[in-house]
Structure 1
Amino acid sequence: MTISRRTLLAAGAVTPLAAGMAGAQGAASNAARFSLAYAPHEGSFASRGGLIEQIAYAADQGFTAWEDNEARNRSVAEQARMAKALADRNMTMGVFVASMPKWSQSRPLLGAADDADREAFLADIRTSIDVAKRLNARHMTVVTGFLDLKVPVDIQTARVIDVMRRAGDIVAPHGIAMVMEPLNTRTNHPGVYMQSIAQGFAVARGANSPGVKILADVYHEQIQSGNLIPTLETCWSEIGYLQFGDNPGRNEPGTGEINYAPIVKWLRARRYSGVIGMEHGNSVQGRAGEERLIAAYRAIDKG
């Protein structure tokens, strides 16, 4: 939350977010469902218990989807329990991470001259298919690694397109799409290869596979490029999944500079029926923060 907004709230000014918070604090179970499939994750409602309890609580607040970056690292039994909890609540599974860089090693280098990192990436994709099936997930996140400073970027792009096409051939027959996540280099991830939705669009078009799409994380795009709605419009044919998070701070909508209500309105106009991952933290800890999180999404969903 910005200082100016906190000052207004302290002074008793009425805002849509404040009004929504009041409603959330007294909300009963089985609240009205959100109009879009916003997906919390483990930790969004940490005060409510463990993973299964948090899924149940999210469903009671009107959320219809769930996201779990860590699902691939969970035991088969825990994956099965999560899948059952989601099915029991008629909730859609969003993304899990199928392939993630080794941040401390600045790898993989999918555009490098040798094939080692590309083969390891493809191995990750193959072993993620069973996870996706177990969770009834139709999308899985991939991060395309780091830039190789010794190789021209255009050559790296050709190699990334090639390996993504090969990966698409692996997942597409199973009805699964990998969603490549562009990351910002200015705040969080210096040195990564894919840095914008536009760059993801070029790779997805080059791969030309239903199994290769873009994860449009609005937080990263705002930092790196801005111009959010026109970028989404231009690249829409290759966008398979979205994530929200405000900037600065990467917390719930209403805590930073991104005006999410028009984005939600635009998505409704596009008849978007997919999942929107809540890829951010809570600006306030504990139950007060959880109530504020729900209120923030009620505010943009209503707006």
Structure 2
Amino acid sequence: MERRKFMQQTMLAGAGILGSGSLLAGNKTTALGNQNAGQTQNGTDKINGNEKPAAEKPFNLNYGFHQGMFEAHAGKNFIDQIKWAHDMGFRSIEDNGMMGRTVEEQKKIGDTLASLGMKMGVFVVTSDQWHWKTTLTTGKQEWIDKMVKDCKLAIEVAKRCNAKEVTVVPGNFDRSLSIEYQTANVIKALRIGSEILEPAGLIMVLEALSDDMYHMQRNEGDIMKNIERCWEEIGYFQIGDNPGRKEPTTGEMNYKNIFKYIHSRGWKGVMGMEHGNSKPGKEGELALIKAYRESDSFL
């Protein structure tokens, strides 16, 4: 396969590929359902005893939140968080730890997203967190075998949660090998993985750590020019302001202009909200939504 075609169809390194493990969505799983949902006498919805603000229109871009981001309003139940976020105008989620959830949880999430007309963003192809170790760069067969096994598992997970893109992490540097050998080892492994995922209609998004939008700004700056330079290779965006890796408007990045540029290029994919909340509790969650409304008001 030609390099560009291979890169675009199966690797798609992104300006929004994942970063710090401390922010990984879904590292902890919770029971799913909506047993605490109800309605007040005046007709406003209630979840876990908390009234929701009035429903909002969808955003211009498709921002995908992760578990816990709206917990103060919707409670710890992820299904309730999805429903609450939908009412706030969000139309996607991302859940890095989806493969660590039970089959029942995966299906409930997928069914909920489908019923609300929402999209599933990325989840990480790993069944036991091997991606944080020195793995594919080594060229050792044991890691290729593990990736193959997890790619096959990921196909079934994707069917349950309606995912179209999955994140593959090449792992840490192997200090005993030159960068050229490590690169060759990773390419070999990715080709094997793509041969498994491509027939299932899944796009392998390569997680080159420090290439998400927060890290790109912190490490290099000139983020809009960098997005332009590698546009054809971008499979997924992930958001975070710098410094602090919180929601837009909390740092130095002009996300309103960045989002405007991405929208002008015709981007239709998910924009992963790979960051924390700058403030705790309900106040912080409403501040986050306000920040996205402000940054999304570019039309």
For 1:76 and 1:230, the matched residues in 2 are separated by 42
How far the C-alpha of 1:27 sits from its partner, in A, is 8.4
Q: Aligned partners of 1:152, 1:31: CA distance in 2, in Å?
A: 52
Alpha-carbon spacing, 1:114–1:69, altered in 2? closer, same or farther (3 Å): closer
Which residue identity is paired with 2:143?
Answer: D
- The CA deviation at 1:222 is 1.7
Confirm whether residue 183 of structure 1 aligns to residue 209 of structure 2.
yes
% identical equivalent positions:
42
Residue number in structure 2 paired with 1:227? 222
C-alpha separation between the residues in 2 aligned to 1:237 and 1:165?
19
Report the Cα distance in structure 1 between the residues aligned to 2:218 and 2:273, rounded to whole angstroms. Answer: 17
- Secondary structure of 2:271's counterpart equals strand
Pair 1:124-2:150 in alignment: yes
With over 3 angstroms needed to count, the CA separation of the structure-2 counterparts of 1:113 and 1:68, relative to structure 1, is closer
**Residue 62 (structure 2) aligns with:** 37
Partners in 1 of 2:139 and 2:124 — Cα distance? 25
State the match for 2:38 in structure 1. none
Q: Does 1:142 align with 2:150?
A: no
Match for residue 197 of structure 2 among 171, 186, 194: 171
Q: Which runs of 5+ in 2 are unaligned?
A: 1-50
Q: In the aligned structure 1, how far is the partner of 2:181 from the partner of 2:263?
A: 38
| Letter aligned with residue 136 of structure 1 | N
Match of 2:97 in 1: 70
Number of equivalenced pairs: 245
**Contact 2:94 2:122 (8 Å CA) reproduced:** yes
CA contact (8 A) 1:34 1:62 kept: yes
* Alpha-carbon separation, structure 2, partners of 1:54 and 1:101: 25
Quick one: higher RCO (CA 8 Å, sep 6+), 1 or 2?
Answer: 2
Q: Provide TM-score, normalisation by structure 1.
A: 0.77
Contact 1:41–1:278 (CA<8 Å) still a contact in 2?
A: yes
Letter aligned with residue 38 of structure 1: Y
Aligned to 1:218: 213
Q: Secondary structure at the match of 2:136?
A: coil
Q: Contact between 2:137 and 2:170, CA under 8 Å: does it hold in 1?
A: no
Residue 141 of structure 1 contacts residue 178 of structure 1 at CA under 8 Å; is this kept in 2? yes
The runs of 5 or more residues in structure 1 that have no matched partner are 1-25, 185-195, 197-216
